[in-house]
Structure 1
Amino acid sequence: MARSSLTRVLSPTERRELDPHLSPLAWAAGDPLVFAGDVPGGVHLLMSGRVRVTRDTAEGHEITVDIAGPGDVIGPLDTTPRTAVDSAWAMETTCSLFLRAESLAEIVSRFPALALSLLRLQEERLAQAREREVARTTGTVEQRVAAALLALAEKFGRDRPDGSVLLEVRLRRDDIAGLASTTVESASRAMARMKREGWIDSGREWVSLIDAPALSALQQPAEPGR
């Protein structure tokens, strides 16, 4: 619980009080944690593994909207059971602690720090949704792909002796396309250019950032006259 973005604010004593409300669960690669449209009845506090969060588009396509790892929270962030908007799939052996919405309602009234943490996470989800929409309408494909890779590096990056940063998560091209709100073809072209420029290296389901500052520079607005 000390790693979870929801419960890390609690003291060791408070975590022990919370422990009876939690149920340990595990999944193998490919198993669903949550289906969109279902009412999971609570949230999953991820303890280990990687989880692909997906959403169905109006056209019936499934896109990746997030990759979650230890410390992340999966499911509707509410103190009453809500319908899940997104599905979540284990990318590898994954373990979580399940916290029922009713239990969350009870403990937020007892632990003010947890109530603030819940509010913060709700605000972060709204902000991320707004940022995705703004980026989709104003940013270039390369900017969006670079932003997605940098965000993944913050969460899953491992520094290597040669100065590069390996993303320790299995990434399909359609994962990157979904995170960047673009098509697989456009994401592949953007990554091919980044690879030619020497900013990244990649292979089957892996990506390494060689020049993160160059990717960050793509996020900066162009100077007037350029």
Structure 2
Amino acid sequence: MSGNPVRANCARPHHCSADVRMEVMARSPLTRELAVDEHRELDRHLSAWSWGEGQPILLAGDEATGSYLVVSGRVRVTRDTIDGRGITVDLAAPGDVIGPLGTAPAEAVDSAWAMETTCALYLPADSLAEVVEEHPRLALALLRMQQDRLAQSRERDIGRTTRSVEQRVGAVLRRLDDKLGHRREDGSSLLQIRLRRDDIAGMAGTTLESASRAMSKMKRFGLIDSGREWVAIVDHAGLDELIDRG
């Protein structure tokens, strides 16, 4: 495969219609369990913001006064290490929530950067407190998202000592496939995001060199195909077997 096959996203940097807002709330893990009238009620508290490629949405250490529900674009979430490096800990896509999941302002632990023109709906923390009180299903969804974030972080930490680099890299690719994979006629699945090797390394809790070696081996065995900033899953069953082997 030549070139980068990941299609450009159609961001809406200056306008976010009611239909678009309703659509993203209908598929977001935070709001998809709510009824349509609850989406409309929540929408009263939201405002649309946009960023150009490379611009920061959040910076670690700053006070975060709310959360962002991604409408269009892709977002790289990074964390600073003790030696001053920034590693990728997550990649957010439409429907994902970035920023602290709380009902009061809090210090941002991670930074978030627009990977392309990105639009997100901003929900102030104090408004979230009001909405949660009125809509118990949102409170439950909020709790689940907080638990998922903790579980993901714990899995990454435990995986460093209990799973091989190949398994950890494979798990990252499988999770991204679940969220961003586009099935093609030949059965392969293209990850619709410009994916750097150091993104994969950060999420897998390994070095760039180790992640690159693992991906080269997976490509050699026909599990994936890849090029500059793109990855496709070729053999889903084989990838699952690699990840889940004892």
TM bin, normalised by shorter chain, reads over 0.9
Per the alignment, residue 32 of structure 1 pairs with 56
Q: TM-score, normalised by structure 1?
A: 0.95
User: 1:88 pairs with 99, 112, 115, which one?
Assistant: 112
* CA distance in 2 between partners of 1:112 and 1:181 (Å): 36
The offset of 1:164, in angstroms, is: 0.9
User: 1:127 pairs with 145, 151, 155, which one?
Assistant: 151
1:15 alignment partner, SS class: helix
User: 1:206 pairs with 225, 230, 240, which one?
Assistant: 230
1:133 alignment partner, SS class: helix
* CA distance in 2 between partners of 1:59 and 1:93 (Å): 30
Count of residues in correspondence between the two structures: 222
Per the alignment, residue 142 of structure 1 pairs with 166
* CA distance in 2 between partners of 1:220 and 1:23 (Å): 42
Moved more, 33-42 or 8-17: 8-17
* CA distance in 2 between partners of 1:68 and 1:197 (Å): 29
The answer to whether the aligner puts 1:178 opposite 2:202 as a matched pair is yes
* CA distance in 2 between partners of 1:118 and 1:191 (Å): 34
CA RMSD, 1 decimal: 1.0
Per the alignment, residue 92 of structure 2 pairs with 68
User: 2:188 pairs with 157, 164, 172, which one?
Assistant: 164
User: 1:53 pairs with 59, 70, 77, which one?
Assistant: 77
Unaligned runs of 5+ in 1: none
User: 2:40 pairs with 13, 16, 20, which one?
Assistant: 16
Unaligned runs of 5+ in 2: 1-24
Corresponding letter in the other structure for 2:119: C
* CA distance in 1 between partners of 2:46 and 2:155 (Å): 32
Per the alignment, residue 117 of structure 1 pairs with 141
User: 2:176 pairs with 136, 152, 158, which one?
Assistant: 152
Q: TM-score, normalised by structure 2?
A: 0.88
* CA distance in 1 between partners of 2:188 and 2:75 (Å): 24
Superposition misfits of 4+ residues, deviation over 3 angstroms: none
Per the alignment, residue 220 of structure 1 pairs with 244
